[in-house]
Amino acid sequence: MGTRAPMEWLRHAACVDEDPELFFPVGTSGPALRDVAAAKRVCARCPVSAPCLTLALETVPTSGVWGGTCEDERDALLRAGRGSAPGNGGSAVDLS
């Protein structure tokens, strides 16, 4: 799924009715860690977390929780060159 194609899957995202600030916490401790955990719980029940993570890895957003991952987790996936999307059975995320 390329980033130029219409992203119809976004309409099915579990986060669509959530407060966007939950996915973009400020800081790296205390309340920010609670927000990251809460955002990841939303992602865990999301039927489109895999394409969300793929989008995040292809476009490299620098902040926020995307596809069930935080910045550090996405950085690690990008350094590895390939990664597994949370909740998709460990299938490789196609970065091509």
Task: Provide the pLDDT for residue 94.
Answer: 39
pLDDT at position 92, please? Answer: 40
Dmax of the chain from CA atoms? 38
Give 31's Cβ-side CA count (13 Å radius).
6
* Cα–Cα distance, 5 to 72 (Å, whole number): 27
Q: Is 27 exposed, middle or buried (0-12, 13-18, 19+ CB in 10 A)?
A: exposed
Amino acid 2: pLDDT: 52
- What's the pLDDT score for residue 61? 67
Predicted TM-score (pTM) of the model is 0.74
Q: Which regions in the chain score pLDDT beneath 70?
A: 1-6, 61, 82-96
For residue 43, give the nearest of 33, 53, 34 by alpha carbon: 53
